[in-house]
Amino acid sequence: LQFTSVEYILGKVFFTTCSDLNMLKKLKSAERLFLLIKKQFPFNVPSVSKGKIFSEVQRLINDDPESWLNVISIWKNLLELDAKKENLSQRDANPQKIKLGKNDTIIAEKLKTEQMQETEETRECQLEKQIEETLEQGDSLTKREKFQEEFQNDVAKAVDTHNENNLTFRVSCRCSGAIAKTFTAQEIGRIVGIALMKQFGWKADLRNPNLEIFIHLSDIYSVVGIPVFRVPLASRAYIRTTGLRSTIAWAMASVAEIKAGMFVLDPMCGFGTILLEAAKEWPDVYYVAADVSTSQLLGASDNLKAAGLKDKIELLKVSVIELPLPSESVDVIISDIPFGKKFKLGKDIRSILQELESPVAFGTIELSCCLLSEAHHRRLKDGEGRSIPLNSKGGHTDELGVAKCLIPEEKNGHRMLDKMPPFGSLVPMECYKVSLGKTDAFIYKYKKSHSSGL
Amino acid sequence: MKLLTHNLLSSHVRGVGPRGLPLRLQATEVRINNVEFNPDFVARMIPKVEWEVLLEAADHLRLIEVPKGPIQGYEQDETFLRKMHHVLLEVEVLEGTLQCPESGRMFPISRGIPNMLLSSEETET
């Protein structure tokens, strides 16, 4: 994917690209992809009356109808190309690749609920994915207008020709920050809807509109866009039942730096989402998924079959605190540690980490990575001063020693890292905060080193 | 359960020595799968293989044509790699048992998934 003029803002990535839809469908860490219509500075809420803000919102639409129409045209263009591709691929065995116009096609990508705070510079582009793109088009369109019902590959229905005046639409509005205190999302949505109807003559259809308009008003920006794909990118064709959000699963696998020839274990795999994402991206790796629950393992087995990954991922029924693995046999341990009401965690988070410490091999490549909730995160931080009791087995070759307490230095951006004490011989490397919708979580990355503890 | 997995497992029964011991494999139902041959992947797995464990398991399963150990220049030797590919990745134990050689404790393999829970309780969602 060739992205230019990339810009990150809090949960959204804006970028410019010339890639076609198929390539864009492959974006793994993004939730949804939008075409940007407008991006501007936030509304100044406190100092201005409600009525004034209403008119400001209306101006979003009325000030610049051209840009709206342009974006809609591009959107239709994209759909058409996609529809053509689908029809072609259904007719003959070799689908032809249709390239988008040579002009700058810029697409806005909106990450619905993903936030990454980096402690290091320069992670790969794929991880962050906060890109802004504004759509601009040089030529005018002369193609016949066709709409596509579904954007999924197996279904491609051609809809009757519509011209722009017969568009049906729906407005989805999200408000955060100061503006959310003055307005509800519905109010803003209504204003926008009415303005759109007046300006372009479109009709509102809440149930099954042709076009969905997304608006996000926050303290940092006001953004308007339309989704490129009907179905969010996060719903993967190859996963039948998801546990963890697939975007986060992919991100974790990415952070873990999985390389060919490694042995990767997920000791609390659930439905296997993390390893599924990992196996799709890094296939030359030996994966083992383990869980204590039969029903979860059967779900995972289902997922594996559906994804065609039965040969890549082995299943084991085993408890994470009693892993039948010799010391230092695993290259990477990656897991979504259960939390919340859905699952019970038999043992404390710390004893889990203790257990994982032994099988992980030494060296620079080997590391483990896990997703922890706020509560776990706090417990890991608080436990700094106390010593970790040796585990009940007592038979490990690796001594655990005392967790050292790091005196945190509150540098900007490095805050997270400093507050994470080393865990026995596991040294914390990175920590990312991610949003899972209603709750937040953290991705911790540890590496095993020779120095501490022993 | 593939033989590659069996090779990496070790007994975690209490009282068994610090490094655990390889588990004795018995099978009542075995299936041979057709797995895409990836020579690069197989070559990378070879250094991880515990050969004695593998040979014993292969013996119990009455497999033939199992290489006795890595040969010189195995990375380029397709015949060798194909044999290893077959043994490690294509043979799947669907039903059987794993036994800890020291304690005698048996762990069942059912529908291809070994159950190695030490305590009999499970966490069901």
pLDDT score, position A410: 27
Give domain status of residue B63, yes or no: yes
- pLDDT bin (cut points 50, 70, 90) of residue A169 is confident
Domain locations in chain A as residue ranges? 3-93+116-227, 246-382+423-448
Chosen for mutation from A241, A258, A285, A286 (greatest number of chain B CBs closer than 10 Å) is: A286
The pLDDT of B94-112, averaged and rounded, is: 89
pLDDT tens-digit readout, A104-128:
233 333 333 222 222 222 222 222 2
Give the span between the Cα atoms of B59 and B106, in whole angstroms. Answer: 19
Beta-carbon separation of B125 and A296 below 8 A: yes
**For chain B, how many residues are written?**
125
The pLDDT of A148-165, averaged and rounded, is: 31
Identical fold between A3-93+116-227 and A246-382+423-448: no
Phi (first) and psi of residue A320, to 5 degrees: -65, -25
User: Do residues A177 and A136 lie in contact, with contact meaning Cβ atoms separated by under 8 Å?
Assistant: no
Question: What is the DSSP-derived secondary structure letter of residue B12?
Answer: -
- pLDDT bin (cut points 50, 70, 90) of residue A11 is low
For tokens 């992980």, name the residue.
A360
| A396: nearest CB among B9, B18, B44 | B18
What's the number of domains chain B is made of? 1
User: In sequence order, what E strands does A91-144 have?
Assistant: 106-110
- pLDDT bin (cut points 50, 70, 90) of residue A141 is very low
- pLDDT bin (cut points 50, 70, 90) of residue A243 is low
pLDDT score, position A120: 22
Give domain status of residue B23, yes or no: no
Lowest-confidence region among A38-52, A347-361, B39-53:
A347-361
Does the structure show a pLDDT above 60 at A288?
yes
Q: From the CA of B72, how many Å to the nearest CA of chain A?
A: 20
Tell me which residue range forms the domain holding B49. Answer: 3-18+35-114
Tell me the CATH number at B95: 2.20.25.10
Beta-carbon separation of A293 and B45 below 8 A: no
pLDDT tens-digit readout, A18-42:
555 565 666 666 666 666 666 666 6
pLDDT tens-digit readout, A61-74:
777 777 777 777 77
pLDDT score, position A239: 66
- pLDDT bin (cut points 50, 70, 90) of residue B93 is very high
pLDDT tens-digit readout, A397-415:
222 222 222 222 222 233 3
Burial of residue A286 (number of CB atoms within 10 Å: 0-12, 13-18, 19+): buried
pLDDT score, position A221: 72
More confident call, A413 vs A439: A439
C-alpha triplet B106, B107, B108: angle, nearest 5°: 120
Does the structure show a pLDDT above 70 at A359?
no
Q: Tell me if residue A345 falls in helix, strand or coil.
A: coil
Q: From the CA of B68, how many Å to the nearest CA of chain A?
A: 22
Give domain status of residue B40, yes or no: yes
Give the span between the Cα atoms of A371 and A333, in whole angstroms. Answer: 11
- pLDDT bin (cut points 50, 70, 90) of residue B97 is very high
The pLDDT of A346-352, averaged and rounded, is: 54
Query: Can you read off the two tokens belonging to residue A61?
Result: 């639409």
The residue of chain A with its CA nearest to that of B45 is A261
Give the span between the Cα atoms of A333 and A445, in whole angstroms. Answer: 10
How large a percentage of chain A has pLDDT more than 70?
38
Domain A3-93+116-227 -> CATH class = alpha beta
Cβ-based contacts of B36 with chain A (< 8 Å)? 311
Q: From the CA of A136, how many Å to the nearest CA of chain B?
A: 45
pLDDT score, position A27: 63
The complex's ipTM works out to 0.87
Lowest-confidence region among A191-200, A430-439, B23-32:
A430-439
Beta-carbon separation of A322 and B2 below 8 A: no
Lowest-confidence region among A147-151, A336-340, A450-454, B58-62:
A147-151
Give the span between the Cα atoms of A45 and B35, in whole angstroms. Answer: 62
Beta-carbon separation of B38 and A288 below 8 A: no
Does the structure show a pLDDT above 90 at A58?
no
> In angstroms, how far is the first alpha carbon of chain A from the final one?
46
Give domain status of residue B98, yes or no: yes
pLDDT tens-digit readout, B1-55:
999 999 888 777 766 666 667 889 999 999 998 888 888 899 988 988 888 888 8
Does the structure show a pLDDT above 50 at A387?
no
Does the structure show a pLDDT above 90 at A416?
no
User: How many inter-chain contacts (A to B, CB under 8 Å) are there?
Assistant: 96
CB-based contact, B20 to chain A, within 8 Å: yes
Tell me: domain A246-382+423-448, CATH 3.90.1150.220, correct?
no
- pLDDT bin (cut points 50, 70, 90) of residue A424 is low
Query: Can you read off the two tokens belonging to residue A171?
Result: 């407005």
